[in-house]
């Protein structure tokens, strides 16, 4: 393909410029063996019409092994047909020929950064455009009518036809702010003059565009499925996650994720403003699963590495079997929740690395058993708690009444509709647990989050350091809390003070029966930031169903914890033998004398 001199770039055709950019991507983004494999795959997959060789929708879906039952193949093909037009996005959709697929794979695997080093650090805007459609009528309704005034029965998220964000959108008031940095960086790499850029860079606008809710729901289900995927690992290995009850679980988890962007009962789709605001905090790793999925194009099954004994590359058929994604089964954590966690916690810390340290269902719902199981882990931990929302009632009795009486009288409304009353909250703590006296523990990388029925992440702020507290008696309200100051010691007055709930906080009582999540959006100064999507006050009071703590770490962390447990077991046995006797009175007396407990002027009591 060669180099295109700067003075010739302005006069080159789009086809020539596309070929030049594809050549740059091919040379700089791929290793020689990867490029050879890509060519072999394309040659074996492509259909042809005349001299044009191209990939069809079903070919792409079949090669990537996208499950038919998800119905996501049209969404994926829309995305790649749009991205294949890069950097001339106004020409989308395009035929997926060899040069277009070179750029698709480079962008979907984030290898483009080797060429466009000065571009934006992410591809979020381009991905939004590749999924979006433009519907003037729906856009005007959404911008003019408050969501609360719109009858959800009149909204059908599937009512608009499949299309692209590059459809004519009328006047774009945001054009000055709609420059796509990836596009501009690509044009800079091609030495295209400013006049050429002005004519093309604004064609694929985000103004008035939205991603249909149903399309995005299907894509989320695929992203949950591919999130743990390794390069060269077949997606068919996870076929059992899209059948029967597992498929229902996958769909329910996707619904929780989707609700972080919009209320599907009131909105037909996701605008760019919603997309770009929610993504960085709640889903920084949402699209990471595309990387290994599209890297399948860079490994050819037709290559026989057994003929090259000196090669360091191992074919997929001979790779060692990987350990399971989740080595132990929990009451709360399953593969779908694990994938959901990987959308905001790096998957390298999660998949095949979590160990169940504490389960209330197995070890008992008490702070004592919690402490004995969790406190020896010297690596990050993830606490998960599930519960059922408590219904409002005029009077309450027993332990529920005691819990309610300890809460401040101010009561915010629930955070979600009454038809979704199963709640799941969690916390990522990177410091070892300890008993709290006057100061909380945790660091500014602690994460408080909600997984169900709405996905939400509340990063630690720097306003104060009340990140985590494990409080035992004589505190007025012992228990576990996140985002609230430690409770004071027992008051001398007859009435204990009310719980001091932080602006954004999660509190579990010491009996592990009840919990409360508080989100005071109007307050400032909390240990955790408020929600980026739910900008209002809400509070969830719930009865606890299950509590789990999972340790993040490998064999070394597990070994340290096991040795600590064994040491404590030996110490406990030694104390028991001293207290109860071994049956050998002389030996026990000698041991106690050595410890200075009896003999001389001391009396050890009767040993008989």
pLDDT of amino acid 202: 46
Do 356 and 289 belong to one domain?
no
pLDDT of residue 149: 42
DSSP 176-223: GG---HHHHHHHHHTT--HHHHHHHTTSS--TTEEEEHHHHHHHHHHH
Does residue 378 share a domain with residue 257?
no
pLDDT number for residue 446: 97
Distance (Å, whole) CA 226 – CA 234:
10
302, part of any domain: no
**Contact of 580 with 592, CB cutoff 8 Å:** no
Q: What rounded mean pLDDT belongs to the chain? A: 82
Q: In angstroms, rounded to a whole number, what is the distance separating the alpha carbons of residues 182 and 107? A: 10
**According to the model, what pLDDT value does residue 199 have?**
46
Q: Among the listed ranges 194-198, 250-254, 393-397, 499-503, which one has the minimum average pLDDT value?
A: 194-198
Residues recorded for the chain:
608
Query: Which range has highest mean pLDDT (237-241, 382-386, 398-402, 484-488)?
Result: 382-386
Q: Is residue 456 part of a domain?
A: yes
Give the chain's end-to-end CA distance (angstroms, integer): 97
Q: Is the link from the previous residue into 360 a cis peptide, with omega within 30 of 0? A: no
Q: Residue 105: helix, strand or coil by DSSP?
A: helix
The SS3 of residue 53 is strand
- Does residue 603 fall inside a structural domain? no
- H helix or E strand, kind and range, residue 47: strand 47-49
**Rounded alpha-carbon distances, angstroms, from residue 311 to 18, 33, 304:** 34, 11, 11
- What's residue 504's pLDDT? 97
In a domain, 241, yes or no: yes
Q: Given this model, what pLDDT does residue 299 score?
A: 93
Closest CA to 116 of 21, 243, 254, 36: 21
Same domain, 256 and 203: yes
Distance (Å, rounded) from C-alpha 135 to C-alpha 167? 9
In percent, the amount of the chain with pLDDT more than 90 equals 59
- Report if residue 599 sits inside a domain: no
**Token pair 């009896």: residue:** 598
- Which whole number is the average pLDDT over 83-91? 93
Instruction: Give the pLDDT confidence of 19-50 residue by residue, as tens digits.
Output: 999 999 999 999 999 999 999 999 999 999 98
Between 14-29 and 181-189, two packed helices, what is the crossing angle to 10 degrees?
90
- Please tell me which residue, 385 or 307, carries the higher pLDDT value: 385
Sheet holding 209-212, edge to edge: 133-134, 209-212, 269-271
Rounded Cα distance, 229 and 207, in Å: 34
pLDDT digit string (tens) for 137-153?
Answer: 555 545 544 444 434 33
Domain that includes residue 586, residue range = 556-594
pLDDT at residue 242 is higher than 90 = yes
Residue 608 has pLDDT above 70, yes or no: no
Which tens digits make up the pLDDT trace of 267-289?
899 999 999 999 999 999 999 99
Asked if pLDDT for residue 582 goes beyond 60, the answer is: no
Q: What is the pLDDT of residue 163?
A: 39
- At 553, the pLDDT band (50, 70, 90 cuts) reads confident
Asked if residue 579 has pLDDT above 70, the reply is: no
Same domain, 409 and 264: no
Q: What angle is formed at CA 552 by the lines to CA 456 and CA 111, rounded to 5 degrees? A: 70
Domain total of the chain: 3
For residue range 408-464, list pLDDT tens digits in order.
988 899 988 888 889 999 999 999 999 998 899 999 999 999 999 999 999 999 889
Q: Are residues 521 and 564 in the same domain?
A: no
Say if residues 86 and 183 touch (Cβ distance below 8 Å).
yes
Beta-bridge partners for 509? 479
pLDDT of residue 145: 43
pLDDT value at residue 123: 86
Q: Check whether residue 435 and residue 454 sit in a common domain.
A: yes
Maximum average pLDDT range among 133-137, 309-313, 581-585: 133-137
- 485 with 567, same domain: the answer is no
Q: pLDDT at position 578, please?
A: 55
Q: Is residue 350 part of a domain?
A: yes
User: Does 209 map to a domain?
Assistant: yes
pLDDT band at 161; cut points 50, 70, 90: very low
pLDDT tens per residue, range 310-367:
444 444 444 457 789 998 889 999 999 999 999 999 999 999 999 999 999 999 999 9
Same domain, 584 and 546: no
Stronger pLDDT, 194 or 188, i.e. the higher one: 188
My answer on whether omega of the bond before 382 falls inside 30° of 0, hence cis, is no
**Can you give the pLDDT at residue 169?**
38
| pTM (2 d.p.) | 0.83
- Tell the residue number behind the tokens 């995927």, with chain if given: 229
Q: Reduce the secondary structure of 473-535 to three states and give it as a string.
A: CCECCCEEEECCCCCCECCCCCCCCCCCCCCEEEEEECCCCEEEEEECCCCCCCCECCCCCCC
The reported pLDDT for the residue numbered 154 is 36
Q: pLDDT band at residue 473, thresholds of 50, 70 and 90? A: confident
Tell me the two tokens of residue 200.
Answer: 């093309």
Same domain, 497 and 568: no
- Strand-strand pairing, 504-509 and 514-519: antiparallel
514/560 same-domain check: no
- Choose the weakest-confidence range: 9-13, 152-156, 176-180, 420-424: 152-156
**Coil, strand or helix at 373:** helix
Indicate the helix (H) or strand (E) that contains 382.
strand 381-389
**Could you tell me if residue 501 is inside a domain?**
yes
Q: Mind giving me the DSSP string for 435-477?
A: --SSS-B--TT-EEEEEESS-EEEEB-SS----BEEE-TTBSS
Based on the fold, state whether residues 434 and 368 are members of the same structural domain. yes
- Same-domain status, 565 and 544: no
Q: Strand, helix or coil at 546?
A: strand
């Amino acid at each position: 393909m060669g180099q295109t001199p700067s003075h010739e770039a302005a006069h080159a055709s789009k086809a020539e410029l596309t070929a030049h950019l594809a050549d740059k991507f091919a040379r700089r983004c791929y290793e020689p063996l990867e490029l050879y494999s890509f060519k072999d795959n394309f040659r074996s997959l492509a259909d042809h019409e005349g001299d044009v060789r191209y990939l069809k929708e079903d070919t792409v879906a079949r090669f990537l092994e996208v499950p038919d039952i998800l119905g996501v193949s049209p969404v994926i093909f829309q995305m790649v047909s749009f991205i294949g037009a890069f950097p001339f996005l106004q020409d989308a959709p395009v035929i997926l020929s060899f040069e277009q697929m070179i750029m698709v794979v480079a962008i979907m695997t984030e290898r483009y950064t080797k060429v466009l080093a000065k571009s934006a650090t992410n591809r979020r805007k381009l991905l939004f455009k590749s999924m979006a459609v433009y519907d003037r009528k729906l856009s005007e309704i959404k911008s003019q009518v408050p969501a609360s005034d719109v009858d959800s029965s009149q909204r059908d998220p599937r009512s608009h036809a499949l299309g692209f964000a590059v459809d004519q959108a009328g006047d774009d008031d945001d054009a000055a702010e709609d420059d796509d940095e990836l596009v501009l960086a690509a044009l800079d790499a091609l030495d295209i003059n400013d006049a050429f850029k002005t004519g093309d860079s604004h064609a694929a606008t985000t103004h008035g565009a939205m991603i249909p809710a149903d399309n995005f729901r299907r894509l989320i289900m695929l992203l949950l499925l591919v999130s743990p995927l390794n390069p060269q690992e077949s997606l068919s290995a996870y076929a059992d996650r899209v059948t029967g009850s597992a498929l229902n679980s996958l769909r329910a988890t996707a619904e929780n994720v989707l609700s972080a962007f919009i209320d599907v009962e009131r909105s037909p789709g996701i605008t760019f403003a919603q997309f770009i605001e929610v993504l960085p905090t709640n889903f920084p790793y949402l699209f990471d699963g595309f990387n290994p999925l599209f890297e399948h194009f860079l490994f050819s099954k037709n290559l026989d590495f057994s003929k090259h004994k000196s090669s360091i590359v191992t074919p997929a058929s001979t790779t060692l079997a990987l350990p399971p994604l989740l080595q132990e089964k929990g009451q709360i954590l399953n593969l779908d929740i694990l994938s959901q966690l990987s959308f905001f916690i790096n998957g390298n810390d999660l998949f095949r690395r979590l160990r169940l340290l504490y389960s209330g269902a197995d070890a008992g719902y008490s702070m004592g058993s919690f402490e004995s199981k969790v406190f020896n882990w010297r690596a990050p931990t993830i606490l998960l708690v599930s519960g059922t929302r408590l219904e409002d009632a005029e009077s309450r009795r027993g332990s529920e009444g005691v819990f309610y009486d300890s809460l401040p009288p101010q009561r915010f409304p629930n955070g979600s509709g009454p038809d979704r009353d199963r709640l799941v909250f969690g916390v990522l703590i990177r410091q070892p647990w300890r008993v709290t006296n006057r100061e909380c523990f945790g660091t500014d990388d602690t994460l408080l989050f909600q997984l169900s029925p709405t996905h939400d992440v509340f990063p630690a702020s720097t306003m104060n350091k009340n990140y985590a507290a494990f409080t035992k008696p004589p505190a007025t309200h012992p228990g576990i809390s996140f985002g609230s100051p430690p409770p004071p010691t027992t008051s001398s007055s007859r009435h204990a003070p009310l719980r001091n709930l932080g602006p954004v906080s999660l509190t579990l009582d010491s009996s592990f029966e009840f919990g409360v999540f508080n989100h005071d959006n109007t307050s400032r100064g909390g240990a955790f930031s408020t929600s980026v999507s739910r900008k209002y006050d809400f509070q969830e009071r719930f009865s606890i169903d299950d509590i789990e703590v999972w340790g993040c770490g490998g064999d070394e962390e597990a070994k340290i914890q096991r040795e600590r447990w064994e040491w404590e077991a030996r110490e406990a046995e030694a104390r028991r033998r001293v207290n109860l006797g071994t049956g050998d009175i002389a030996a026990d007396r000698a041991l106690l004398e050595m410890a200075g407990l009896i003999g001389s002027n001391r009396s050890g009591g009767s040993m008989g």
